[in-house]
Amino acid sequence: MRALIINISARNLFGHPHAEVLKRFQNLEIKVYRTDKNGTITIITDGRDYWVKTMLKEKD
């Protein structure tokens, strides 16, 4: 699984990331984690694989 982390303020005035861009990542099967929806994001690795833990459950 490929993943992308986007650091976004909950009060983002610019509307980033754009829905079209998020759709592109979805089409490429890239999991998107966002700090505005997931809270703190932690990546854990053993040097080969990685796991993602988030502070919040994803909100729509």
Asked whether residue 35 is assigned to any structural domain, the reply reads yes
Helix (H) / strand (E) element for 19: namely helix 19-27
What confidence category does residue 60 fall into, taking pLDDT thresholds of 50, 70 and 90?
low
Q: Is residue 11 part of a domain?
A: yes
Strand-strand pairing, 30-34 and 2-6: parallel
Q: Judge whether 59 lies within some domain.
A: no
**Is 14 contained in some domain?**
yes
Q: Return the amino acid letter for 30.
A: I
Position 60 in a domain: no
> Under DSSP, is residue 60 helix (H, G, I), strand (E, B) or coil?
coil
Task: Decide if 45 is inside a domain.
Answer: yes
Which residues are bridge partners to 31 per DSSP? 3
Taking only the tens place, the pLDDT of each residue in 34-44 is: 999 999 999 99
Q: Residue 58: its pLDDT value, please? A: 67
| Full residue range of the structural domain in which residue 11 is found | 2-54
Length of the chain, in residues: 60
Q: How far apart are alpha carbons 60 and 49 in whole angstroms?
A: 28
